[in-house]
Amino acid sequence: MKNIAKKIAVLSMVGMMQIGFGASVIEASPLHNQPPVQEQDDRHDNHDQGQDRHERERAERERHEREMRRRPHEGEREWHERQNRENERHEENLRRIAHDILDLIHD
């Protein structure tokens, strides 16, 4: 009877040690530390940033098209000078939009 009691006590302690070890491994698991809701929010944020970028690019392209049209009172030389300035401004705005998006992604 004493042998059975000793075996039960030893096996109970071994079982409790295994449970404790398993609990510490689960607690240290990286999957346990981050809630899945945060990952879902990140995907939505990226989607929103993409939509914002597309909207800003579309607005810039529309503005550029309006500015590139020749005005009724404008001479040929003035029109070409304004086109050159507008092309430079348009390229700078597109670079700024792309830079802003990259900054958001890296943050």
Per-residue pLDDT reduced to its tens digit, 21-60: 888 877 776 665 555 555 555 555 556 767 888 898 899 8
Q: Give the C-alpha distances (Å, rounded to integers) separating 104 from 90, 94, 98.
A: 21, 16, 10
pTM score above 0.85 = no
Q: How far is CA 101 from CA 61, 87, 93, 107, in A?
A: 17, 21, 12, 10
Burial 46-83 (b: 16+ CB within 10 A, else e): eeeeeeeeeebeeebeeebeeeeeeeeeeeeeeeeeee
Helices 36-68, 76-106: axis angle to 10 degrees equals 170
pLDDT single digits (tens) 63-81: 888 888 888 888 999 989 9
pLDDT band at residue 20 using 50, 70 and 90 as cut-offs: confident
Residue 32 contacts residue 26 (beta carbons within 8 Å):
yes
